[in-house]
Structure 1
Amino acid sequence: MVLHGCSGLPGSVKKTWSERLSSWGYVVLVVDSFSTRGIKETCDGLHSVDRVYDAYGALEFLSKYSFVDPRRIALMGFSAGGNATLEALQSGGDERLMERKFKAAIAYYPDCSATNGDMAAPTLILIGELDDRTPAKICQEMMTQRSGKGSSVQLDVYPGARHGFDSAGLKTGIETYGHRMQYNAAEQSILASHAFLKDVFGG
Structure 2
Amino acid sequence: MTIAKLLVSLIASLIGAAHAFSASADELVHFESKVVEPSPFQQRKAAEQGKAISRPVATPLLGYLSRPNGDGPFPAVIIMHGCGGIRPNTKTDWPERLVSWGYAVLVVDSFTTRNIKDTCQGYLPDRVFDPYGALDFLSTESFVDAQRIALMGFSAGGIATLEATKAEGNEQFMDREFKAAVAYYPVCAPHAGDATVPTLTLNGELDDWSPAEKCRQRVSNLSGNGPPVELEIYPGAYHDFDSRDVAVAKSVLGHREVYNALAAQQSIESVHTFLQKYLAR
Tell me whether the two structures share a fold, i.e. TM-score over 0.5.
yes
Mapped to 1, the partners of 2:210 and 2:158 lie a distance apart of 10
For 1:6-65, what per-residue CA distance to the aligned partner results, in whole angstroms no more than 9, with x for missing partners?
0000122111111011000000000000001100100011x5252210000000000001
- Listed one character per residue, the Cα deviations across residues 112-150 of structure 1 (whole Å, up to 9, x for unaligned) are 117624011100000000000010000011111111232
**2:44 — aligned with what?**
none
* Partners of 1:116 and 1:134 in 2: CA distance: 16
User: In the alignment, which residue of structure 1 is the partner of 2:267?
Assistant: 189
- Matched with 1:161 is 237
CA displacement, residues 133-168 of structure 1 (integer Å, 9 cap, x when unaligned): 010000011111111232100000000100000000
CA distance in 2, matches of 1:164, 1:145: 26
* Structure 1 residue matching 2:148: 3-state secondary structure: coil
Is it true that 1:7 corresponds to 2:118 in the alignment? no
Question: Paired residue for 1:27?
Answer: 104
Structure number with higher strand proportion: 2
Give the TM-score normalised by the residue count of structure 2: 0.70
Larger Rg: 2
CA distance 1:127–1:154, shift in 2 (3 Å): same
Report if aligned partners of 2:246, 2:257 keep a CA contact under 8 Å in 1: yes
- In structure 1, stretches of 5+ residues that fail to align are none
Between the aligned partners of 1:127 and 1:165, the Cα distance in structure 2 is: 9
RMSD over aligned Cα atoms: 1.2
Q: How far apart in 2 are the matches of 1:178 and 1:65?
A: 42
Task: Confirm or deny: 8 A CA contact 1:90 1:115 kept in the other structure.
Answer: no
Distance 2:179 2:136 in 1: 13
Give the direction of change, closer, same or farther, for the CA distance of 1:114–1:54 in structure 2 (3 Å limit).
farther
Distance in 2 (CA, whole Å) between partners of 1:86 and 1:115 is 12
| Alignment partner of 2:221 out of 124, 128, 145 | 145
4+ residue segments displaced more than 6 Å:
none
Pair 70,115 (structure 1): closer, same or farther in 2 beyond 3 Å? farther
Q: Distance between the aligned counterparts of 1:60 and 1:150, measured in 2?
A: 24
Question: What TM-score comes out, normalization by structure 1 length?
Answer: 0.96
Q: Which residue of 1 aligns with 2:206?
A: 130
Work out whether residues 91 and 119 of structure 1, in 8 Å CA contact, stay in contact via their aligned partners in 2: yes
| Contact 2:178-2:197 at 8 Å conserved across structures | yes
Is 1:111 paired with 2:187?
yes
Provide Cα deviations, 1:67-125, integer angstroms capped at 9, x if missing partner: 11110000000000000000000011100111100000000000111762401110000
Which residues of structure 2 form unaligned runs of 5+? 1-77
Output the CA distance in 2 between the equivalents of 1:42 and 1:21.
27
From 142, 154, 160, the equivalent of 1:78 is 154
1:199 aligns to 2:250 (yes or no): no
Match of 2:138 in 1: 62
* Distance (whole Å) between structure 1 residues aligned to residue 121 and residue 190 of structure 2: 18
Provide the residue aligned with 2:69 in structure 1.
none
